[in-house]
Structure 1
Amino acid sequence: MIVKNEEKVLARCLDSVCKLVDEIIIVDTGSTDRTKSIAQDFGAKIYDWVWNQNFADARNAALEHSTSDWNLVLDADEYVKSEDSTAIRQFINGEKAIGRVKIVNQFIGDDGLESTAQSFISRIFPSGVRYEGSIHEQLVSDLPRIKLPVEIWHDGYMKSKAERNIPILKKEIEKSPHDSYYHFQIAKEYRGINDHAQACQHLEQAYRLLTRKEYYAPNVIVNLLYELIATGQLESGLPVIQRERDFLRDFSDFHFACGIFYMKLILSNTAKYVDLFPYIEASYLRCLEIGETDQYDSVRGTGSFTALHNLGGLYEVMGNINKAKECYREAATTYGYQPSNERLKQL
């Protein structure tokens, strides 16, 4: 781990993992609170590191101090929610590979409600593997990547880190202007502080640079649709949807974004786009047909309760109150989605 001033969350993190590991290595980049004391309570080995604006360097410094054959990397604002110890043992006793764990990110959505998004990130790997990249660092290895039954929750996105991250990402873009990854990452930072113009600009660049082989390519496309909505460039979104429909046919987040997009587009010019109205229902029904899967990095609910809720809202607009109630009821009773429950009370 690398840490700095994490006294509010560090104990939660270490308590979730201390019985699963043989040693805890912490590199501290300048804490002035109780971070080191808390780490000592868990028997951690603590090393100081002068922060040089490079996350890979700090990660690798921590890895240099590890004496284990395998390493698990965590951030202080993360904690292990569930794991399958038997599966992990089988993994580390088999052929060398890199384990990808499910990260569940908590964040506040555009509707002001707490939401979660899941992604799979390489976090368990054999000794000798190292990172590169000053920010959003990546492991450098040709070893195969295997998904493991480990779920880690992360609430760091509840608070913006844009002030720290954007300057580092700008430097990376200066060095590698044609790297879609850094344009995508800086766009997420700008979106988090509601600078939609900058977010859209970088997503458009990321989109132009995609090969479609990148693991993050589907999310670039979906985020671009949301930013075209946010910046009022609705007509620019139609060609994107038409071009990517086959590529993302099994991605519920894409169809969910399409449902929102079609509604906004129709409202912007009803006379011109009213013929697209059936596409709204079709988009949400496709979300439900796909369901919640681990195939993509996705926002939870786009294949279930939020799709049902939005479909209920559509049926209300269409005057089909019975269908609306069915959707709200399923979202509320099956998934415990509170906004649907509240809407049911009002019908």
Structure 2
Amino acid sequence: MDKTISLCMIVKNEQKYLEKCLESVKQIVSEIIIVDTGSTDETLDIAKKYTPNIYSFNWVNDFSVARNYAIEQAKSDYILVMDADEYFDADVNLQEELKKDYDYYVFNINNHMKFNQSFIHTAVRLFRNNIGLKYENRLHEHLNILDDNSKYRGVMSVSTIQHVGYMDEEILEEKKHKRNLPLMKLEVQENPTAYNLYNMGKTYFGMNDFKKAVTYFQKSYSLGKDKVYIPELLTKLSFALHETGQFEDAVGILVDATRIFPSETEMKYIQGIIYARNGYFKDAETCFHECIKLGDQGTMVTEGSGGYMAHLQLADMYEKTNQLDKSYLERINAMRVKGNTAHVLQDYLQFSLKINQSADECKQIIEEHYKLNTIEDLQNLMNTLYSLRHPLLNHYLSKFNITTEPHIHTIAKIYSKDKNLMRTALEDINNLGNRENIQDVLLMAYIFKDKSVMDKIQFAMNFGVKEMKIIKQLFEDEKLTGSITKPLQNVLFTLCKQLIMIEEFELFQELTQKLIDNDSKNVLNICKILSEYRFDELAIDMLVGVYRESPNHPGIVRLLGDLCFRNNYFEDAELFYTKLLNLDSSYETYERNFRLYENNNDQEAMMKMRKEMMEKFPSAAWVQPGYDTRILSSN
């Protein structure tokens, strides 16, 4: 015989979501109970279409009181608790779950976010009625199953609740945490349990006040080390420690925690993030590969931590360590797994610009891994191409015969690499002019030496007389005189990148020479741009010249070493990397040297370097005795 189920909800001004929620459960539950805390929109009219059991409740700044009032009205065998911005997929079968005859059921909550991303957390949402279960806490209310003497039996549900509230642009997490802070402080003051201290830490964590978050997480952990939320607590504690400059402590916690909780993907992912941000790339690499093996699993996991996000982290790390083939492969892996996610698509297309991938190859990757099933999919593709100023923007505008804002068509012409189209864009330059695309106006003006837009550039960029003097000198056959301010410097270096993207190499050479003549220190930044877009030989030639003048400049030595390594000039790379050790004794420099010795199969140098790193950098896991070197070699 089927068990009866009461849906119990507290609502306020939920007209946007409520109907979808109730539609998804009306065939699943026996009764629907709505407790309204003061709606002024159409919420109650929607609720009346599904149930007569609507109650008005005077809000008393306590979520648990409102929840308990709702479940007191329930007459069924079991109680289902949902929020208005949640719903079930059509294939959910709660009666099959209830045959297990547990007191409560823990559900995965799939939190949908913008740009086709999501994260998962768990919560008790279905439980037996009339056995003493009730809600506690003003904020972050929860059932009293966390008590040490709890006699209730629970199990993980196979069903998932979909939550769409985080997709609303009006929800700003930091503001929400600030709004909840007074309630949370009052709760901690009256009842300083491990759970409340943990939630206080989460509140400060959400406000980016990591120092206070650390304090409360540590207090919570000292009171309850066996709670179900401990994996999330330790993960957030470690990240907060890192953000307050305590790298060794953060890593130390995660090394131990990942052994205790080996199936928590998010924990391993954050460990990889912390390693990577500090240049510990070998350890980061191991972490992200382990995430991929685990997949998305654990008590709380951001979608993709065990998939496409881990692939993107590997791609970024391989790019930083000059392993470009691996970097490209990981971006393709991410496209295969989640190509329709805006972040994944943008990351791939941005890299395609840096490696000067052909338009046909790019189109093939997009057509294989980005599915154009809806108008929204096409819009996301066009928005990504536009934001990157990608040459394929013009192709897809034409392919789908898209009519859109004039400035988008103008941008498409500029970056098409078609000189004739670019000339027609010059006629449309009045379509451009706001801050968003004034850099494009400068590009066109520089290419065609059009001085008519100077006032527009000055107004949009808020430049003064001295800055405009230098801008005007760009269009003349004369040197740039005077010092270049930081904002103008950023504009001019961006202009250098734009000229590379549209293959205006003569103008690039003209501009960079003017910048070098103005200040020889600009050589390093220009060489970084050349390196970014893979003009390595030219960068090396330029750097060798400035190296003779500044042989002890760490930035010059580092970039020369990287470029030589990337281009298989291994003897030269060793010369520069060895010298770099005397100029910069950071862990990252040591790992650079080790990678070179590893590439050269210089076992003696590898052993010596590893021993030295073991003494200097105890947080580097891969150099420690007993570390399974097969993990590294398998990656």
Shorter-chain TM-score above 0.5: yes
In the alignment, does 2:332 pair up with 1:319? no
**Cα deviation code 1:121-154 (max 9, x no counterpart):** 2111222132222222222353311222221122
**Cα deviation code 1:42-83 (max 9, x no counterpart):** 224110111122222211111121222222111112122354
In the alignment, does 2:311 pair up with 1:302? no
The partner residue of 1:89 within 83, 86, 95 is 95
Question: 2: CA distance between counterparts of 1:255 and 1:146?
Answer: 25
Q: Which residue of 1 aligns with 2:156?
A: 147
Q: CA deviation at 1:93?
A: 4.2
**Identity among equivalent pairs (%):** 30
In the alignment, does 2:252 pair up with 1:239? yes
Question: 2: CA distance between counterparts of 1:340 and 1:157?
Answer: 20
Which letter maps to 2:235? Answer: V
1:192-203 correspondence to structure 2 within 5 Å: 192-203=206-217
Q: Which residue of 2 aligns with 1:330?
A: 333
Question: 2: CA distance between counterparts of 1:55 and 1:210?
Answer: 24
Q: Which residue of 2 aligns with 1:186?
A: 200
1:8-27 correspondence to structure 2 within 5 Å: 8-27=16-35
Q: CA deviation at 1:10?
A: 1.5
Question: 1: CA distance between counterparts of 2:89 and 2:30?
Answer: 19
Question: Any conservation in 1 of the 2:242–2:274 contact (CA below 8 Å)?
Answer: yes
In the alignment, does 2:188 pair up with 1:173? yes
Q: Which stretch has the larger CA shift, 322-331 or 243-252?
A: 243-252
In the alignment, does 2:235 pair up with 1:222? yes
In the alignment, does 2:348 pair up with 1:339? no
The partner residue of 2:136 within 127, 132, 138 is 132
Question: Any conservation in 2 of the 1:183–1:202 contact (CA below 8 Å)?
Answer: yes
Question: Any conservation in 1 of the 2:107–2:124 contact (CA below 8 Å)?
Answer: yes
Q: Which residue of 1 aligns with 2:558?
A: none
Structure 1 residue runs of 5 or longer lacking an equivalent are 267-275
Q: Which stretch has the larger CA shift, 33-42 or 241-250?
A: 241-250
Q: CA deviation at 1:96?
A: 4.2
Question: 2: CA distance between counterparts of 1:126 and 1:245?
Answer: 34
- When residues 107 and 145 of structure 1 are mapped into structure 2, their CA distance, relative to the original with a 3 A threshold, is same
Q: CA deviation at 1:196?
A: 3.2
- When residues 90 and 244 of structure 1 are mapped into structure 2, their CA distance, relative to the original with a 3 A threshold, is closer
Question: 2: CA distance between counterparts of 1:188 and 1:44?
Answer: 38
- When residues 107 and 210 of structure 1 are mapped into structure 2, their CA distance, relative to the original with a 3 A threshold, is farther
TM-score by length of 2: 0.49
**Cα deviation code 1:92-133 (max 9, x no counterpart):** 34534212221112357xxxx664221222111222132222
Question: Relative to total residues, which structure has the larger helix share, 1 or 2?
Answer: 2
Q: CA deviation at 1:191?
A: 3.0
- When residues 68 and 280 of structure 1 are mapped into structure 2, their CA distance, relative to the original with a 3 A threshold, is same
Question: Any conservation in 1 of the 2:288–2:310 contact (CA below 8 Å)?
Answer: yes
Higher relative contact order structure (alpha carbons within 8 Å, sequence separation ≥ 6)? 1
In the alignment, does 2:266 pair up with 1:253? yes
Q: Which residue of 1 aligns with 2:106?
A: 100
In the alignment, does 2:125 pair up with 1:117? no
Which letter maps to 1:100? Answer: V
Q: Which stretch has the larger CA shift, 55-64 or 158-167?
A: 158-167
Question: 2: CA distance between counterparts of 1:257 and 1:96?
Answer: 34
SS of alignment partner, residue 11 of structure 1? helix
Question: Any conservation in 1 of the 2:80–2:127 contact (CA below 8 Å)?
Answer: yes
Question: Any conservation in 1 of the 2:266–2:300 contact (CA below 8 Å)?
Answer: no
TM-score by length of 1: 0.86
SS of alignment partner, residue 216 of structure 2? helix
Question: 2: CA distance between counterparts of 1:281 and 1:241?
Answer: 15
Which letter maps to 2:126? Answer: I
Structure 2 residue runs of 5 or longer lacking an equivalent are 1-8, 146-150, 356-635
Question: 2: CA distance between counterparts of 1:82 and 1:150?
Answer: 11
Question: Any conservation in 2 of the 1:183–1:206 contact (CA below 8 Å)?
Answer: yes
Question: 1: CA distance between counterparts of 2:227 and 2:154?
Answer: 14
- When residues 164 and 49 of structure 1 are mapped into structure 2, their CA distance, relative to the original with a 3 A threshold, is farther
Question: Relative to total residues, which structure has the larger strand share, 1 or 2?
Answer: 1
SS of alignment partner, residue 16 of structure 2? coil
Q: CA deviation at 1:157?
A: 4.3
Question: 2: CA distance between counterparts of 1:107 and 1:208?
Answer: 34
Question: 1: CA distance between counterparts of 2:276 and 2:102?
Answer: 49
Question: 2: CA distance between counterparts of 1:248 and 1:95?
Answer: 28
- Aligned residue pairs total 329
Question: Any conservation in 2 of the 1:100–1:120 contact (CA below 8 Å)?
Answer: yes
Question: 2: CA distance between counterparts of 1:58 and 1:122?
Answer: 17
Question: Any conservation in 2 of the 1:229–1:264 contact (CA below 8 Å)?
Answer: no
Question: Any conservation in 1 of the 2:276–2:317 contact (CA below 8 Å)?
Answer: no
In the alignment, does 2:63 pair up with 1:51? no
- When residues 157 and 228 of structure 1 are mapped into structure 2, their CA distance, relative to the original with a 3 A threshold, is farther
Q: CA deviation at 1:232?
A: 3.0
Q: CA deviation at 1:219?
A: 0.5
Which letter maps to 2:156? Answer: K
- RMSD (CA atoms): 2.2
Q: CA deviation at 1:216?
A: 0.7
Question: 1: CA distance between counterparts of 2:262 and 2:144?
Answer: 31
Q: Which residue of 2 aligns with 1:280?
A: 284
